[in-house]
Amino acid sequence: MSSVRTFSPRYYGLASFKPEQGGTTHFGVLDRSGDAVSCSLTINTQFGSKVIVPGTGVILNNEIDDFSIEPAVPNVYGLIGTEANSIQPKKRPLSSMTPTIILQDDRPVLIVGASGGPRIISATLQTILNVLDFHLPLKRAIESPRIHHQWIPHELAVEGKILPNTRKSLERIGHAVKEKSSLGVVQAILVQRARLHAEADPRKEEKVSAER
């Protein structure tokens, strides 16, 4: 400790700690019969609307922020909306949640999804590509560094573990590269040669559970 300065959490041995980024959870389930669930649920930002239903402890969400309040006005995540996503009765807002089940011969082979606000789509897609196109083991597919671009702000977010040469190549073609500690938190189950592989993203302290 120092009486004249403070230090980052990493200094105190909390290298694996990641600050909470919002109120979204994703989980996947696969049973012995092959029935699969990929479920994302959210209260949107931390503590949602900050309103608790009396007597229940249930926090109400503020998912209405996913609507475009006004054209060209960003929401809490910096996403710019359009007229098509304006608030209207009986209408669902645009959402980044991407619970996914991939089938082969009508049987689930990959159950995947993520939390992380607007980074959910890119995190889920990159994990799918790592497994199906690049044939990475599921653990490595999830742990591999990610990139994310959402148009506004006009910058390419990359995780710090990205290779220096890759970063230089991106900057060379005009990307404004900005390092982020975490770009989404992915959970996935892979069915491969009649064996199940389940992995939880180490970017947060997630867990895998199984029973025979």
Burial readout 4-17 (b: 16 or more C-beta within 10 A, e: otherwise): eeeeeeeeeeeeee
Bridge partners (DSSP) listed for residue 42? 24
**Domain chopping of the chain, boundaries:** 41-95, 96-205
- Could you please state the CATH topology (level 3) that the domain comprising 96-205 is classified under: Glutamine Phosphoribosylpyrophosphate, subunit 1, domain 1 (3.60.20)
Per-residue pLDDT of 91-113, as tens digits, reads 998 889 999 999 999 999 999 99
| Measured distance CA(37)–CA(31) in Å, rounded | 9
Reference 196, options 184, 209, 205, 183; nearest CA is 209
Per-residue pLDDT of 165-185, as tens digits, reads 988 998 998 889 999 989 999
pLDDT for 8: 60
The percentage of residues in the chain with a pLDDT greater than 90, rounded to a whole number, is: 55
Per-residue pLDDT of 139-172, as tens digits, reads 999 999 999 998 878 899 999 877 889 889 989 9
> Which token pair is 56?
């229940």
* Catalytic residue positions, numbered: 24
Please list, in sequence order, all residues whose beta carbon lies within 8 angstroms of the beta carbon of residue 143, skipping any fewer than 6 positions away. Answer: 201, 202
| Residue reference for tokens 């996935």 | 188
For residue 94, give Cα distances in angstroms to 37, 49, 138, 205: 22, 18, 29, 28
**Model confidence, pTM:** 0.81
